[in-house]
Structure 1
């Protein structure tokens, strides 16, 4: 049953039905924790799915990070996503190793969560770590390596946009 729920949860996720996806992600994660244990790869995948759902509930059309930070309900979601991302990343690093694709994806997810909270330094350090590891393990032209480079570019653009918005506000 958890597999089917996970599949339905993924469909909800891709349709943008965040609350429905969250409900199923939580249910699947709970069952997998109980049946398979916290360190099982399927449980970790469920935790990562839930973290992604939380993260996507916080993506707004506005690009201004200061506006994002004022939305308290969503800030709570960022914290939850960060906690899950940290847990999944740490567990994957200790169980399957730092250079495994799943671990690198978890690190990239954590970096995205940091970026979306305006924690630029932490995000950049993790994005660079993912890029360097993927270059070494997968090669420079691998789609996952290119995706990691794109994430760092997005980080730089978002940070620059936010800083220019702050400067503009100070002038006004």
Structure 2
């Protein structure tokens, strides 16, 4: 962490606050704070980076969209769900327009927006996005890619929350079987699927 702080300070001194390399260093430092659970500090850094990048980068710039995506993650972890949702809607729209609907970065934004919708009770919309994400990952990555299995798990969870228990049960079992085979029975994602299958079996 100390090294990344020094790198940022050095770039601010030599390159200025709005140089893309300085903004990237701010993102890397903010990501480190996020991993440590220091979301408030990460949010402050990304807020500064967003303000500066809006002046120096175009609205479609991948760096700007990455900053917005990271800031939305901080907002969500801090319980600021409406702000997270609004940022993710902007990111998804821009990435669909510039990268296409099946680019990995677009699908990541779609997944996180679905989770954000779920946070504020817009569960039907969350489910619709999760269905689109699963369709796209199956088509582009294959049915047993880890990202596809993650999308499958998310959709099964969404079905369960909406009372669509048979669909949730079938999909969660399919995800669990594949995760056990590919990731192993002790992998955290496999354990998540195991818990979801157990929950679905009760309903």
What's the TM-score, normalizing by structure 1? 0.78
- Of 118, 124, 128 in structure 2, the residue corresponding to residue 83 of structure 1 is 128
Q: Deviations over 1:81-108 (max 9, x none)?
A: 1110010100000001111111111111
The separation in 1 between residues aligned to 2:77 and 2:171, in whole angstroms, is: 26
Counterpart-to-counterpart distance in 2, 1:28 and 1:7: 10
Q: Deviations over 1:44-68 (max 9, x none)?
A: 000000001111223xxxxxxxxxx
Question: Structure 2, unaligned stretches of length 5 or more?
Answer: 1-63
Partner of 1:18: 81
Q: Residues 1-172 of structure 1 correspond to what in structure 2 (within 5 A)?
A: 1-58=64-121, 77-157=122-202, 159=203
The alignment partner of 1:94 has SS state of helix
Query: Which whole-Å CA distance do the structure 2 matches of 1:137 and 1:144 have between them?
Result: 11
Across the two proteins, how many residue pairs are aligned to each other? 140
Deviation at 1:154, TM superposition (A): 3.1
Question: SS of the residue aligned with 1:139?
Answer: coil
Deviations 1:133-162 (A, max 9, x none): 0011111111111111012223345x3xxx
Aligned counterparts of 1:144 and 1:110: Cα–Cα separation in 2: 14
Provide the rounded CA distance (Å) in 2 between the counterparts of 1:47 and 1:12.
Answer: 16
Q: In angstroms, what is the RMSD of aligned CA positions?
A: 1.1
Instruction: State how far apart, in whole Å, the 1-side matches of 2:84 and 2:98 are.
Output: 21
Structure-2-length-normalised TM-score: 0.67
Q: Which runs of 5+ in 1 are unaligned?
A: 59-76, 160-172
**How far apart, in 2, do the equivalents of 1:79 and 1:4 lie?**
28
